[in-house]
Structure 1
Amino acid sequence: MKKLWMPCLLILVLILSACGGKTAETSKDDKKTDESKTITYQSENGPVEVPANPKRVIVLSSFAGNVMSLGVNMVGVDSWSKANPRFDKLKNVEEVTDDNLEKIIELNPDLIIGLSNTKNVDKLKEIAPTVTFTYGKLDYLTQHLEIGKLLNKQKEAQQWVKNFKAEAKAAGEEIKEKIGENATVSVVENFDKQLYVFGDHWARGTEILYQEMKLNMPEKVKEMALKPGYYAISPEVLSDYAGDYVIFSKNADGDTSFQGTETYKNMPAVKNNHVFEANAKEFYFNDPITLEYQLDFFKKSFLNK
């Protein structure tokens, strides 16, 4: 029996070894195939073949938060995103510009995302598939859906949009009930020595306040800032643009001396403690990470939640 058993055992071991080697080999090939898969994304400039599962994305402007929220790895981002305190996950990601092509080559990206005014686009396309968007051409939620399509994460993007709209609407109804249907809200930001007021589509939480919550914009802001998105004003006329409530997107390193003037102190919103200050660096964008923070900020500010 032993003479019969030992050869059979040896044959069985050889068969299992061969099968195991084949499985490992197949798995390796499948992985390689998966990483080399591509999809065709219909960009505003035509079809672009991009990785189906990008691993080394460079974002040259505006959309780092969108990419991050979808769980896609980035190896390079713009300076504004890098400076955002909310984007702590970018701590070890390289800062890049569209001028520094050598740096971009070193990072070996498999996808580059930028804006329509990004420099050196033709040269960037030689480094990796490059897709650009015109800022403001799409509304802020459609923009996220498009980035979801680009990254092959459309379902995740759609689910986020659905949840966010529902949460923002519910919060808006509570806020309206508390401050009144006719109360006005304005968004102001200081940059260097200039003040700006914003319409309903230039980030700083404006999309949430005006598009989702349907809160009222002061008439003067509507007249000057609604269509272009923002409007520069002097501190002397701020009271003409200030609503019953003011969201102040504050650059601490900019000129804030106007807050010490009697003109500012006598504004109804100031007297009533209806000025809510936010860190401008956290408020610049309208990606999912920033939007969730802004929504939370509004809940706390208006509703003490």
Structure 2
Amino acid sequence: MKRQNHHLWKICCLILLLGVLSACGTSAVQPSGSSTDAEPASENEETVLYQAANGEVRIPKNPERIVVLADSYVGYFLALGIKPVGATDHALQNPYFQGMTDGIENLGDGKSVEKILELQPDLIITFSGVENIGKLEKIAATVAVEYGKTGYREQLREFGKMTGREEQANEWIAEWDRKLAEQKQKVTAAVGDQTVSILSPYAKGIYAYGHNYARGGEILYLEFQLKAPELIQQEAIDSGQGWVSLSLERLPDYAGDYIFTCDWSGDDADPSAVYDSSIWQGLPAVQNDRVFQIDPIAAYFNDPISLEKHLEFIVEKLTQ
């Protein structure tokens, strides 16, 4: 009798244990969408897949702490009403951003992983091909952008899609197109069939720019469709390269009736070697007082904020 009772007791214990394990298993596989007493996940924890130059990246649906290491793109976020938590020193020096960058952490050249980590970003924007992208990807979702591959309108839409600000992107584009239409007739009437060049002296010669390397080229050549000198059209624009390097001796063949120019800030060039030369001084644009100096730092940028300022400058100079 004792042996029978002991056997029944073991069966009861086994049944009880199986019941507990079954309950635990059900809890472990409970679907994420089912109702529970737990707090719901915050909106910023939601993620979406984004196709970037560095592959498919899972990014926050509504990023709140964005670090922009690709200095060309800081102005895109400012135009969308987003102030990055960190940006490079070069971007923060852009005079066109004056009054808009207060509170943004200066990350110098952007290469210090430690400084970036301290900002606890949830999204990092960088150029494609940077050496430390693997380290950046360990800090936060990292989107690499290939410079010049996408026009500025589409690039703004992409950043709008990435940050949940597509409406703001479309609003800026609509207002921008209105401004361009308003000014184009005035500018083309003043310039007519005359040519326009964008030139920058550097250590080994002169750069001539086309329509996709900032310095107002997008407005002059793409939007207003002003004429470039034939060689710039062929070598910098039609080629798709965006720029061409030339010697001082060849300058007259690349110089337009109007010239927008600035010092090249990327090396130890002495611009006076060009500007004080007899070749430069003999150019028709120089003799006719049709040479316009662009701010050398602002010239680098072609984001929406900078484009608005470039437009004001171009219209003022070409219609005066």
Assess same fold via TM > 0.5.
Answer: yes
Given the alignment, which residue of 150, 165, 188 partners 2:177? 165
Deviation at 1:98, TM superposition (A): 5.2
Q: Which of 129, 136, 141 pairs up with 2:148? A: 136
2:213–2:243 Cα contact (<8 Å) kept: yes
Counterparts of 1:1-305 in structure 2 under 5 Å? 33-61=42-70, 62-88=72-98, 89-92=100-103, 93-97=105-109, 99-180=111-192, 182-192=193-203, 194-226=205-237, 227-251=240-264, 254-257=269-272, 258-304=274-320
Moved more, 258-267 or 97-106: 97-106
User: Which of the two has higher C-alpha Rg?
Assistant: 2
Preserved CA contact (<8 Å) 1:169 1:212 = no
Gaps of 5+ in 2: 1-38
Q: Aligned-pair distance for 1:192?
A: 4.3
Question: Displacement, 1:208?
Answer: 0.7
- Residue deviations 1:46-73 (CA, integer Å, cap 9, x gap): 4422223322111111211111111112
Q: In structure 2, do the counterparts of structure 1 residues 278 and 98 end up closer, same or farther at CA, with 3 Å as the change threshold?
A: closer
| Shift in Å, 1:91 | 5.0
Structure 1's unaligned 5+ residue stretches are: 1-28
Compared CA separation, residues 107 and 194, structure 1 to 2 (3 A): farther
- Matched AA of 1:168: L
Q: Match for 1:33: what amino acid?
A: S
Q: C-alpha deviations, 1:244-292, integer Å up to 9, x for none?
A: 1111133588422121222111111111111111112011111001100
How many matched pairs? Answer: 274
CA contact (8 A) 2:107 2:115 kept: no
Distance 1:149 1:184 in 2: 38
For 1:106 and 1:295, the matched residues in 2 are separated by 38
State percent identity of aligned pairs. Answer: 35
| Worse-superposed segment, 230-239 or 87-96 | 87-96
The two structures have a TM-score, normalised by structure 1, of 0.83
The farther-off stretch of 36-45 and 213-222 is 36-45
Q: Would you say the 8 A contact 1:96–1:103 is kept in 2?
A: no
Deviation at 1:151, TM superposition (A): 1.4
Q: Give how far 1:78 is off.
A: 2.3
Distance 2:166 2:54 in 1: 20
TM-score scaled to structure 2, two decimals?
A: 0.79
Q: Deviations over 1:202-261 (max 9, x none)?
A: 111111111111111110111221221111122232221011111113358842212122
